Amino acid sequence: MASQEHMEKMRQRQDYRNLWHTDLMRTIQADPPYCCLALFCAPCVSYLLRKRALYNDMSRYVCCAGYMPCSGRCGESRCPEFCLATEVFLCFGNSVASTRFLLQDEFNIQTTQCDNCIIGFMLCLQQIACIFSIVAMIVGSEEIQEASQLLSCLADMVYCTVCACMQTQHKIEMDKRDGKFGPQPVMAVPPVQQMSRIDQAVPPNVGYAPQPAYGQPYGYPPAPQAQGYPPAGYPPAQYPPPGYPPSGYSR
């Protein structure tokens, strides 16, 4: 059941329409000092970003932001700071991805195709390096062993670089959230003029006869006097009518 909910959430993320303030290719240009900090002190930066993503309210902390099967089962409520420190050091990749999912779900941010390609390349390179290491261990060839070590080193470099760029991207997005770039327009909230139907023009009648003006609601016929009442052919009214009261009637 939980896996089905996660799959449904992944599908919903494909319909998000907002974009990151800075994509992965431009994070180094956007904030070079922080990108270097995220490269050399990655777990510490991950800790600070998750805490900031929770608005510094650690009572809201759940392991891996609730996106993993272990979430909510690690005693986070008793010591959230220690659990977060353990998460960023032992499960660094999951901690970065969880913060990313947390921000995406909060602000309806989609991942661009370029970002998907970079993340996919990083994952594929790690898988290829792992396969080469297994083959080198089985075969025992020195050439394959050297190739596997070279691939592993390259995969680690790409992994560290992409994670640093991702954490810088998260930091810039929270800077925008906290108003450090100046006031930002509220997303997905229409202006008052569009919310009030009083200010909108009356749409044209389509397939319906024009409605009468106020004073004759719902299309009732005009008052009888306007039709010449009583109709022609009726004798004039007499009061009292002839033969009234009847004979023999006494008051």
Grade residue 208 by pLDDT with cuts at 50, 70 and 90. Answer: very low
Residue 235 has pLDDT above 60, yes or no: no
Mean pLDDT of the chain: 77
Structure tokens at 98: 């969880």
Burial of 169 (0-12, 13-18, 19+ CB in 10 A): buried
Interaxial angle between packed helices 42-53 and 92-107, expressed in degrees from 0 to 180 and rounded to the nearest 10: 30
Structural domain boundaries enclosing 63: 2-177
pLDDT at 37: 95
Residue 136 has pLDDT above 60, yes or no: yes
In a domain, 108, yes or no: yes
In a domain, 172, yes or no: yes
Grade residue 204 by pLDDT with cuts at 50, 70 and 90. Answer: very low
In a domain, 114, yes or no: yes
In a domain, 247, yes or no: no
In a domain, 80, yes or no: yes
Tens digit of pLDDT for each residue in 175-187?
999 888 766 555 5
Closest listed residue to residue 73, CA positions, set 65, 63, 82, 81:
63
In a domain, 55, yes or no: yes
Grade residue 214 by pLDDT with cuts at 50, 70 and 90. Answer: very low
Interaxial angle between packed helices 32-40 and 42-53, expressed in degrees from 0 to 180 and rounded to the nearest 10: 110
In a domain, 145, yes or no: yes
Residue 236 has pLDDT above 60, yes or no: no
Total number of domains in the chain: 1
Q: Which residues pair with 41 in a beta bridge?
A: none
Distance of alpha carbon 158 from alpha carbon 167, whole angstroms: 14
pTM listed for this prediction: 0.68
pLDDT at 72: 77
Tens digit of pLDDT for each residue in 23-69?
899 999 999 999 999 999 999 999 999 999 999 999 999 988 888 77
In a domain, 58, yes or no: yes
For 228-247, what is the mean pLDDT?
54
